[in-house]
Structure 1
Amino acid sequence: MRVLVVEDEVRLAQTIQRGLELEGFVVQLAHTGTDGLWAAGEQRFDVIVLDIMLPGLSGYEVLRRLRARDVTTPVLMLTAKDGDYEQADALDLGADDYLTKPFSFVVLIARLRALLRRRAPQQPALLAAGDLVLDPARRHVRRGDTALTLTPREFGLLEFLLRHKGLALTKTEILHNVWDAHYDGPENVVEVYVGYLRRKIDTPFGRNSIETLRGVGYRLIDPDGQVDDESSSTPR
């Protein structure tokens, strides 16, 4: 899941980023209202965390302009401790939720997950390919009756593959959605983590659910509905 955090207090923004990444989110930061508005309008995010007091444009103005452009991404506003009017104004402008500073990180995570559930009720509660099952809400993964332990990055990669089951995904698409839109490291990090995943979800069970597509990227297949494709090849 991709989150945009628009917060001008750099240390707070970085703390939020680190915490969310440990929970498996992909986080992009913006420190001004102008940069936040541009990012939210030009890129796809699953949820936005938006402070009210920002340089350039206030959080109110950013929210107002986003809704005027029909950007429907859920927005959680960060408000002052005693900001009853701020909270009311934020909700009137189209915010989906708010949180007062200082806040509990546990509550922030719970609020964000609630927003994501409300936004996409049509999405299945569980993601599956055969007997491989991932529960996004509880962050559980199992193969048959065996529970699997994944790192946050491995979990995010598997969730992305499962949400696009049967589709060919390029390394660039995977990096953009599981790592960071501004990631500028080597692309082979995707190969490394695909290898990690295979050793946990496939190898012990004699399965091969992640296909390597030569010159393209990867595809997660459903054993009950495999896709024949001339570009598919053996695992790397």
Structure 2
Amino acid sequence: MTAPSPEEHRMPEATFDPIAELYDKFAELSHARYRQWLERVLPARGGRAVDLGCGSGRFLGLLADRYDEVLAVDAAPRMIELARERHPQPRIRYRVGDLWEITPDAEGTFDLVFSVNTLHHLGPDPAAYLAHVRRLLRPGGRIVVVDCVRHTPAWAANPVSYGLYRFSRTMTGAVRAGLAHRSVSGALASYRLRRHPRWRSLAAEAPTLTRAEFRHHYAAAFPGATFTDSLDPTVCAIAGEVTARTPVTS
């Protein structure tokens, strides 16, 4: 399969820069639910790893503790600044850029391709962006991906009920953030993020798969890996060495 050119596929021009600090606080809460699983599925030691969409670097310390070299990539310059401030380790190399520009010719291949809540931003064609990601893996390499899935309930199918559903999620998220941080500021940060125009536009522009679609496309791209549905109702995850075997469910 011929690799897509940067002109054919690009991440949205809008980035997370205007909401970087708000998203960092949001990620501190939401990503904490993934950490125990990530610690279990990542090997104790490895060679080269790439974090596609590293954001403010929530998991870069975990990767740098286990891999000799980590490439941290994000399209948002402010996110990379936050990540570099948090993790100035020599093992981590930072790059601001479109994820479609991370190719074997430009960066080589990796023992681990890692991504959290990012790949759905690569466009409406999962077969294309997963083929792009697969090319970054060395033979026998490991994939570890958590990504958003579409989870709107049936009762929220019309515009009015959907608006109520989104508002209820905004308020629930704010309450959870406030309890987790034990502060009103945590709740306000979550509320402000979910109501921010940039967050809402990014969410609207980024097509998400259903859980069944996620399993279908990722199974085709990464045979031999294992699916996990238990991290959060809003995400699906996959991890494991890529082989010719059929994926299994954990």
TM-score, normalised by the number of residues in structure 2: 0.27
Between structures 1 and 2, the one with greater helix share: 2
Higher relative contact order (CA 8 A, sep 6+): 2
**Could you say which structure has the larger radius of gyration?**
1
